[in-house]
Every structure is written in C-alpha cells, then in structure tokens.
Amino acid sequence: MPVTCVIGLQWGDEAKGKLVDLLTDRHDIVVRYQGGANAGHTVVRDGRKFKLSLIPSGIFRPEVQCVVAAGVVLNPASVLGEIDGLRNLGIKVAENLMISDRCHVIFPWHVEEDRLLEQQCGDEPIGTTLRGIGPCYRDKVGRGLAVRLGDMFRPGFEAQVERIIGAKRDVFSALGSAAGAAIDAKQVAAQYRGYAERLAPHVADTTAYLLDAVEAGRRLLFEGAQGALLDIDHGTFPFVTSSNSSGVGVSVGSGVPGRYISKVFGVIKAYSTRVGGGPLPTEQDNAIGQQIRDRGNEYGTVTKRPRRCGWFDAVAARYTARLSGVDSLAVMLLDVLSELPEVKICTAYELDGRKITNFPGHADDLRRVTPVYETLPGWRDDITGAVRLDQLPTNARKYVDRISELLGRPVGVVSVGPDRRQTIFAE
Ligand code: GDP
Ligand code: IMO
Ligand code: MG
C-alpha cells in the first residue's frame, strides 16, 4: 500500500491518531494536510498517552519523515509548544519534521475574530475550538490580509504585518471591539520573526518534496484531521470546519494528485459523537448517551467539552465513505458499546413523511429528519483483549458485519481499546 489515507467519516475524533500510529511502520512519510491545532489526535504507546494537534502522528518513529503540508493553518506558538512538549518526553523532533513554507499563519487577531464571530452567530454558534482556524482560512481565501510561513523569512514581513494590522484595526472598531487598539505591530512582527527563526530548520517546499516522493514510489500516509461531515463543502454546513476534511481534501491540501492514492481507510467510531453545534440525528440526550460518554471518555481532546453521543448513523457514514473513496473501514471504540442490552443502527431517515437513505445537503433538513433504527442484540463480554475477529462475541461481530454491509465496504480494522495492542486486523 504505497499511498494510504486515513479519513474520519463522522464529526471528528474517530481515533484517527491511533490508526495512523499503527500504520506508520508500513510507511516512509506521514502527512498532515488540512486543519490546524483544532485537531487533537491521541496516540497510546506502551501505556503512555500522547496528544498531538499539528504534528503528524508518525512522529514516534524517528526514521519516518513527518510533513505538515501546504493546506494546514499554523499557529507558530502552538507548533513550537508542541515540539518542545514532545522533546521533553524524549521524542525526536528534528529534520524528521518538515513544515510547508506555504502554510498560512494564525495571528492573535484570528483568535479574537473567531470569538467575535461565534458571538455574532447568536443562539446558534458553530461551537468552534476558538483556535482562529476559520478566520485564518478566510484571510487565505481573501488573500489581501494573509501571511504564509515563507513570508516570515522575507525582508518585507514587518511592512506586511503593519499593513494587515491597520486593516484589522478597522475591522475590530467596526465590530465595536477594543482588540485592535491593543495590537502593537512592531511587537507582533518581532515576536513572529522569533518564531520563524526557531521554525527555520523545519521549513521547506513540501509540495516539491511530496511530488518527488510519490514519483519515486515512496510510501506515504495521509493523516486527515476532523471528519468528513465537518468538510467545508460537503459537510453539515455551516456547522463545519473551514477546510476539506473529507477524502477529497487530500490532494488540495498536500499537492499530491489523487491518482497516486492506492488505499483509503475510512475511520468510524462504533457510535456517533459530535462536539460543537449542528444537527446530530441519532443523538441520545439521555442515559444511553451518558453511558456512551462515560465508557468512551467522550470529552474533547482540545477543548475538554463533553461530546454529544448517539447511535451509529449508517446514512451519514455511507455518504462520507462514498465521498472519500473509502476502500476499507476501521471500526474504532467497539468496546465502548459492550454491556448495552441492545444496540441500534440508523439505516434510513424519515423526512416529510418519506423514507430516504441519501444524506440531506442542508443542515435544516438534517435537523428535521427522524432516524429509522434497526435494533441488534448487545453483548456483555469484555472485548478489550480480543486480537482476532473470532474472539469477538457473535453479537459484536454481527454488529460490525452489519455496518460493513450498510456502508458497502469491508472492515479492515476493529479497535477494542486505546492501546496499539488492542487492535484486530481483519484483512
Ligand atoms: P482523533 O482525533 O480521530 O485522533 O481521535 P481522538 O484522539 O480525539 O479521540 C479518540 C479517543 O479514543 C482517544 O482518547 C483514544 O485514546 C481513544 N481510543 C482509540 N481507540 C479506542 C478504542 O478502540 N477503544 C477505546 N475505549 N478508546 C479508544
Ligand atoms: P480531530 O482531528 C472534533 C469542530 C468544532 C466545531 C467545528 C468548527 O481531533 O478529529 P473550528 O475550530 O475547526 O472552526 O471548529 O469543528 N472540530 C472538531 N471536532 N474533532 C476535531 O478534530 C475537530 N476540529 C474541529 O468542535 O464544531
Ligand atoms: Mg480528536
């Protein structure tokens, strides 16, 4: 499998970090290509838990090259903090981490704009991670007020920052915010020059590097952030993130053409979670939801917010599996459902008196659907020690098989606990 992608098929936190770490030893290069420090990927190795935001989950193998590609938005202070944190834990972060000079840079005003924008949404905020992700991508698309990592090394950087801050002051004062007045252009430019100096050993033309790598037949692993239902174009807009987080985003963010991709893993939790606002048709705002939250420790990696929990939604996941070109499914956190007397899968929606199996394109329609459930018997056994499919209770296997059938894809991986060892490779 020379070029593999790991794509979350739900609303994020599907345990992509665990799968990427597991697949890393079969690859030469691990690439993050969209999103930013809104992501929180957990890797558990030898009982130690690591949380990564921007740095690819391949970082634990020093011989693997980690790449943060052009489509990522980067807060230099966050990435430097993450690098320091990993080094303090004895993890090598040196030439094995490469960051694109094309990455767009997050400044303090983006974080402030994120906060103000959330307030302007009234009683229906998006529930962002407040990391300045949306405002940074907006400036990228708008072009005039954007800074790329490569700009921070150029002579015109101070003047560029001063001009942008002038424009941002106007924006803030129009919004009635005092934040603009507090920004000191010289100080920001000097601070970011300092960041640039520290990041310099990692900054490179990753687009050229990745094109050379695929043309030479090297084995690449693309690590998606967020989940396909949070995709800016194909997700539950406007309750989405600001990048293409479904499989279609791999080429856009990395610069590697889709024709080189040979395998796409679609990562799903055995149930549904969502953090932040927006419709979640199968949400269980009741004792079952709480049981899933407790057993799955469903609290945000980044923001610590309790995640909303519900039954597995096969309508949504079938849509995103198709959208992302998924070959094989990785069913994660199956152990969380143990002990429930019965488990449910949403196999269709009812909308305006009609039964549908296609995923509605408008969030308002998705909010109005009634899930149609299929109920399967649960299993009581502890499955956290299973290493082969035939060690799973029959009902757990039936549940996984039914998901596979509904999504029209084989299951390649089943995860029964956070540790690397708690994994069943089914293929
Ligand atoms: P990501 O953002 O997709 O990488 O996922 P997160 O790291 O945000 O959330 C997944 C959480 O589930 C982490 O705390 C993992 O350690 C944990 N985890 C991963 N696989 C399993 C599993 O099979 N069972 C259980 N119980 N926890 C898991
Ligand atoms: P990983 O990679 C879960 C959600 C936020 C919010 C929406 C927009 O760990 O799966 P943003 O800050 O991106 O503008 O927020 O997207 N969100 C995530 N939810 N996992 C993530 O990343 C997320 N990244 C963003 O909660 O609803
Ligand atoms: Mg996460």
Reported for 179-187, long-range contacts at CB under 8 A and 24+ positions apart, including other chains, are 179/109, 179/112, 180/109, 183/108, 183/109, 185/158, 185/161, 186/158, 186/162
Q: How far is it, in rounded angstroms, from Cα 129 to Cα 55?
A: 17
Residues 6 or more apart in contact with residue 373 via CB below 8 angstroms: 311, 344, 345, 346, 347
How far from 338 is each of 47, 153, 335, CA to CA, in Å?
22, 53, 5
The three-class DSSP label of residue 399 is helix
pLDDT reported for residue 126: 95
Q: How many CB atoms lie within 10 A of CB 252?
A: 16
Given a contact cutoff of 8 angstroms between Cβ atoms, the answer to whether 129 and 73 are in contact is no
Spatial CA neighbour of 33 closest among 156, 181, 206? 206
Spatial CA neighbour of 271 closest among 259, 258, 288, 257? 288
Q: How far is it, in rounded angstroms, from Cα 103 to Cα 118?
A: 24
Given a contact cutoff of 8 angstroms between Cβ atoms, the answer to whether 347 and 374 are in contact is yes
Q: How far is it, in rounded angstroms, from Cα 411 to Cα 22?
A: 16
pLDDT reported for residue 303: 74
Q: pLDDT (tens digit, 0 to 9) for every residue of the chain, 427 residues total?
A: 589 999 999 999 999 999 999 999 999 999 999 999 999 999 999 899 999 999 999 999 999 999 999 999 999 999 999 999 999 999 999 999 999 999 999 999 999 999 999 999 988 999 999 999 999 999 999 999 999 999 999 999 999 999 999 999 999 998 888 888 889 999 999 999 999 999 999 999 999 999 999 999 999 999 999 999 999 999 999 999 999 999 999 999 999 999 999 999 999 999 999 999 999 999 999 999 999 999 999 998 777 889 999 999 999 999 999 999 999 999 999 999 999 999 999 999 999 999 999 999 999 999 999 999 999 999 999 999 999 999 999 999 999 999 999 999 999 999 999 999 999 999 7
DSSP single-letter state for residue 293: H
DSSP single-letter state for residue 268: E
Q: How far is it, in rounded angstroms, from Cα 64 to Cα 59?
A: 7
Does residue 13 carry a catalytic annotation?
Answer: yes
pLDDT reported for residue 1: 55
DSSP secondary structure letters along 8-24: E-SSS-SSHHHHHHHHG
Given a contact cutoff of 8 angstroms between Cβ atoms, the answer to whether 10 and 268 are in contact is yes
Q: How far is it, in rounded angstroms, from Cα 162 to Cα 157?
A: 9
Reported as a single tens digit per residue, the pLDDT across 266-318 is 999 999 999 999 999 999 999 999 999 999 999 987 778 899 999 999 999 99
Considering 27, 41, 104, 110, which one is annotated as catalytic? 41
E-only strand ranges, 87-236: 97-100, 104-105, 203-204, 220-223
Query: Residue 41 carries which side chain, given as an amino acid letter?
Result: H
Query: Which of 333, 413, 423, 424 to mutate for ligand 1's pocket (most ligand atoms within 8 Å of CB)?
Result: 333
Smallest-distance ligand from the CA of 271:
1
Chain center to CA of 252: 15
Reported as a single tens digit per residue, the pLDDT across 196-213 is 999 999 999 999 999 999
Q: Does any ligand 2 atom lie closer than 6 A to the CB of residue 136?
A: no
DSSP single-letter state for residue 201: G
Smallest-distance ligand from the CA of 294:
1
Please identify, by atom number, the ligand 2 atom nearest to the C-alpha of residue 8.
10
Q: How far is it, in rounded angstroms, from Cα 271 to Cα 344?
A: 9
Q: How far is it, in rounded angstroms, from Cα 281 to Cα 299?
A: 20
Q: How far is it, in rounded angstroms, from Cα 283 to Cα 273?
A: 8
Helix (H) / strand (E) element for 121: namely: none
Reported as a single tens digit per residue, the pLDDT across 78-131 is 999 999 999 999 999 999 999 999 999 999 999 999 999 999 998 899 999 999
pLDDT reported for residue 182: 85
Please state whether beta strands 354-356 and 342-351 pair in parallel, antiparallel, or not at all (unpaired): antiparallel
pLDDT reported for residue 180: 84
Given a contact cutoff of 8 angstroms between Cβ atoms, the answer to whether 99 and 206 are in contact is yes
Q: Does any ligand 1 atom lie closer than 6 A to the CB of residue 41?
A: yes
How far is the centre of ligand 1, averaged over its atoms, from the C-alpha of 210 (Å)?
28
Q: How far is it, in rounded angstroms, from Cα 414 to Cα 400?
A: 8
Q: Does any ligand 2 atom lie closer than 6 A to the CB of residue 199?
A: no
Q: Does any ligand 2 atom lie closer than 6 A to the CB of residue 56?
A: no
Beginning with the edge strand found earlier in the chain, give each strand of the sheet holding 203-204 in spatial order.
203-204, 97-100, 65-68, 29-32, 220-223, 3-8, 263-269, 328-332, 411-415, 423-425
pLDDT reported for residue 175: 86
pTM over 0.95: yes
Q: How many CB atoms lie within 10 A of CB 65?
A: 22
How far is the centre of ligand 1, averaged over its atoms, from the C-alpha of 162 (Å)?
42
